Amino acid sequence: MDEALYSQLKKEVGEYVNGRLHELSDRIEESGECGPDVWRELRERGYLRLAAPTEYGGYGLSFTQYLQLLELFSQSHGSLRMIVHVMNGIWRPIDFLASPEQRERFVVPLVRGEITAAFALTEPNAGSGADIRTAARKEGDTLILNGEKWLITFGDTADYLMLYARMEGTRGYEGTIALLVPRTAEGVEIVPMPPTLGLTGTGHARIRLKEARVPADHLLGEVGQGLASALNGFLDPSRVCVGMTCVGLAQRAFDLAVSRSRERVTFGKPLSQRQVVQTWIAEMATDIEAARQLVMYAGRLKDEGALTPPPASMAKLYALEMLQRVTDKAQQIWGGIGYFKGYEIERIYRDARAQKFEEGTAEIQKAVIAKHYLAGEG
């Protein structure tokens, strides 16, 4: 998108976040739900197809342009930013392996909002990688699936599961497959999971597959390409995106802390005049900007077609740990009242804990980075 149009779009999103989305945030916290009307509003405004190519019906933003808008959305409610984040990325792993026919059948309708999909990789008894246990076998023109997935964001409502499994009898990356599983497929049981600590209104599901029958033409790519779709098609760019969601939420926590420091008076003096608070403010501002620049660096690599796992993991790792530091200090500046429900800083503190687990923990990011350098690739 050219800079003039993009500047107008960015202004529009900023006004929407600071106006309408703050109203929705309060409603979601009170009701405990992020209903279909919210999805519909975000979809009708075009905010769920920002990152997709124009030929698919998207806005065609560069990755760095999209990241800047994601930072703004992340300053609102956790469930709202989760919808924007997931729906602007879920088309990628499908498109990564899709045939031209599958692209028209699945990817384009997904971008347009005619269908929804959830990313289903994580399992209760395996990590999110080459040790997945969900198994498939082929019988004629049908794939038979057995296994279990859990913690699947939007798995409770999505029309399709972008699901990863392995052909029976295979190990490691060998035999991994990616396929779209209709929620209505025979043998698929979808069980909503309990509410989370934060992200009020975001649904998660446990998926049980018992001799589940899926048409073979729902297989994306070839046998053995499954995890390539998950890692290269989704996780690397999504880790960068999660990094930017950390930046956005930290920025909001910082802004609230600065405002509070000016308002709150103790012993006849505003907190903003206390040296320790000034030190915290300086540390927070520096931390946020350092994370923003690292995320944007990874974003530029993505735009150049040069994004690899280490920069993506670095962006997520640093931004995640920055967010924990900033929200801790922000709540400390707010004092005891910031621990009470009904205050935005309390919700932000809860929401900020979600990014610890999205697209891999800090320990996973460190393992990815260390592997790269210990292999002599740095």
pLDDT tens sequence across 168-209: 999 888 899 999 999 999 999 999 999 999 999 999 999 999
- Give the CATH superfamily of 228-374: Butyryl-CoA Dehydrogenase, subunit A, domain 3 (1.20.140.10)
The CATH code that applies to domain 3-112 is 1.10.540.10
Report the half-sphere exposure of 301 (CA within 13 A, side-chain side): 19
Residue 1 pLDDT level (bands cut at 50, 70, 90): confident
Catalytic-residue membership of 359:
yes
- Annotated catalytic residue: which of 123, 346, 358, 359? 359
Average pLDDT over residues 320-330: 98
- What is the reported pLDDT for 90? 95
- What is the reported pLDDT for 114? 96
Length of the chain: 378
How much is the pTM? 0.95
Q: Where are the domains of the chain?
A: 3-112, 117-224, 228-374
Q: Which helix (H) or strand (E) holds 196?
A: none
Which CATH class for the 117-224 domain? mainly beta
- What is the reported pLDDT for 377? 66
- What is the reported pLDDT for 367? 94
Q: Which amino acid is at 16?
A: Y
Which residues have CB under 8 Å from 52's CB, separation 6+?
58, 59, 60, 88, 91, 111
Which residues have CB under 8 Å from 158's CB, separation 6+?
116, 117, 118, 183
Does the fold of domain 117-224 match that of domain 3-112?
Answer: no
**What is the rounded CA–CA span in Å between residue 256 and residue 337?**
13
pLDDT tens sequence across 257-277: 999 999 999 999 999 999 999
**Dihedral of CA 340/342/343/344: which sign?**
positive
pLDDT tens sequence across 69-98: 999 999 999 999 999 999 999 999 999 999
Query: Is residue 99's pLDDT more than 70?
Result: yes
